[in-house]
Amino acid sequence: MLPPETLVRLREAQRRSAHEQQLLSGRDWILIATCVQLLSALHPLFVWTNVLLLHSPSPVHEKPAIALAAALGLAAALGLLSWWAKYAPFRAAVVAVIAFLATQATVGYFDPGALVSGAIVKSIVLVGLLQAARIGHFRHRAL
């Protein structure tokens, strides 16, 4: 058997490593948010394809081209920020939250209905980004 003091030393070193590993996952939250954001672009892509290629009547009060451009642009921005989070996780997460809220506000200004549609997906993305900011803040502080 291991001497008790050796076991305590091992556990303390392992706890520190496990805590560090948990902090790594802040970047993963931004990656998850990026994937969900990409999936949310499927609906506006479908509507926009129908309108442009199949000449279906455009839905009333909906601007699929704007919604598609916003969703894809935001997904690309989140992808870049997840790469930056490798070096500055807290700043990247905060910028991601601000970018997400600013994009939703802009889209809502042009198309208020877009704020309501896909509210669950938007909530999931926002929760993921806030979680990344929270974890990044832990790393920002001294361990």
Residue 54 interacting with another protein (CB under 8 A) = no
- Closest-CA residue to 98 (of 111, 115, 110, 81): 81
Q: What is the C-alpha to C-alpha distance for residues 77 and 95, in angstroms, rounded to an integer?
A: 10
Tell me whether residue 1 or residue 116 sits nearer to another protein (CB atom).
1
Q: Are 85 and 26 in contact (CB under 8 A)?
A: yes
DSSP assignments along 42-81, one per residue: HHHHHHHHHHHTS-PPPPTT--HHHHHHHHHHHHHHHHHH
Q: How far is the CB of 110 from another protein (least distance, A)?
A: 39
Contact with another protein (CB under 8 A): which of 53, 60, 120, 143?
143
Mark residues 12-51: x for contact with another protein by CB under 8 A, - for none.
-xxxxxx-xxxxx---------------------------
Tell me whether residue 13 or residue 102 sits nearer to another protein (CB atom).
13
Residue 7 interacting with another protein (CB under 8 A) = yes
End-to-end CA distance of the chain: 32
Query: Cα-Cα-Cα-Cα dihedral of 91, 94, 99, 102, to 10°?
Result: -140
Tokens matching residue 73: 């642009």
Residue 134 interacting with another protein (CB under 8 A) = no
Q: How far is the CB of 10 from another protein (least distance, A)?
A: 7
Q: Which residues of the shown chain bind another protein in the complex (CB under 8 A)?
A: 1-3, 6-7, 9-11, 13-18, 20-24, 143
